[in-house]
Homo-oligomer: A and B are copies of this chain.
Amino acid sequence: MQRKQHVVSGEEQALRLAGLRVTPQRLAIMRYMMGSKAHPSPEMVYGHLKPDFPGLSPNTVYQTLHSLEEAGLLRRISMEDNVYRYDANVEPHAHLVCRLCGRVDDTNGALEPLLHELLSKGSATTSWDILAMDCCFYGYCNDCRERAQTLQNEEREE
């Protein structure tokens, strides 16, 4: 029992469900965000899409990411260097941030029970209304560990 119908991508469906208009730019941003584990910054999104959308404006990227965040499709995270990053995984989880290259990874799932406990205990032991929790580990990723050592030694010599 097949019926002729046009194919609706998951991204398109998600946008419509959120009450947002579907445009080529938004679809492309959604697709990139959903497919990336790099927690892209607005600049990274812009740089990635610019070749396919020569007319793309950074402004559009900022606004779109903001709309998607408001719709609950993305989560904005902030880190030590004060540049925003966006995460298509909106479930609570912690991040690993490399202080040299800026890479952002998700932490191992093994931490999740602890994070849940922390959030519930945090909410329970304060009189504030808690809406969200953010947890970041800072250090050096495997690619930067060696370079970090070298830099530290140089500093010591000065």
* Residues of A in contact with B (beta carbons under 8 Å apart): 76, 78-84, 94, 96, 98-99, 105, 107-108, 110-111, 114-115, 117-119, 121-123, 125-142, 145, 148
Tell me whether A131 and B78 are in contact (CB under 8 A).
Answer: no
Name the CB-closest residue of B to A127.
B142
Tell me whether A118 and B114 are in contact (CB under 8 A).
Answer: yes
Assembly stoichiometry (copies): 2
User: A41: shortest Cβ distance to chain B, in Å?
Assistant: 12
List residues of chain B with CB within 8 A of the CB of A117.
Answer: 114
User: A106: shortest Cβ distance to chain B, in Å?
Assistant: 10
User: A62: shortest Cβ distance to chain B, in Å?
Assistant: 13
Tell me whether A128 and B111 are in contact (CB under 8 A).
Answer: no
The DSSP consensus for interface residues of chain A is mixed
Tell me whether B134 and A135 are in contact (CB under 8 A).
Answer: yes
Tell me whether A128 and B118 are in contact (CB under 8 A).
Answer: no
List residues of chain B with CB within 8 A of the CB of A82.
Answer: 78, 82-84
Tell me whether A114 and B114 are in contact (CB under 8 A).
Answer: yes
Cβ 8 A contact of A111, one of B115, B121, B132, B145: B121
List residues of chain B with CB within 8 A of the CB of A128.
Answer: 96, 98, 105, 137, 139-142, 145
Tell me whether B122 and A129 are in contact (CB under 8 A).
Answer: no
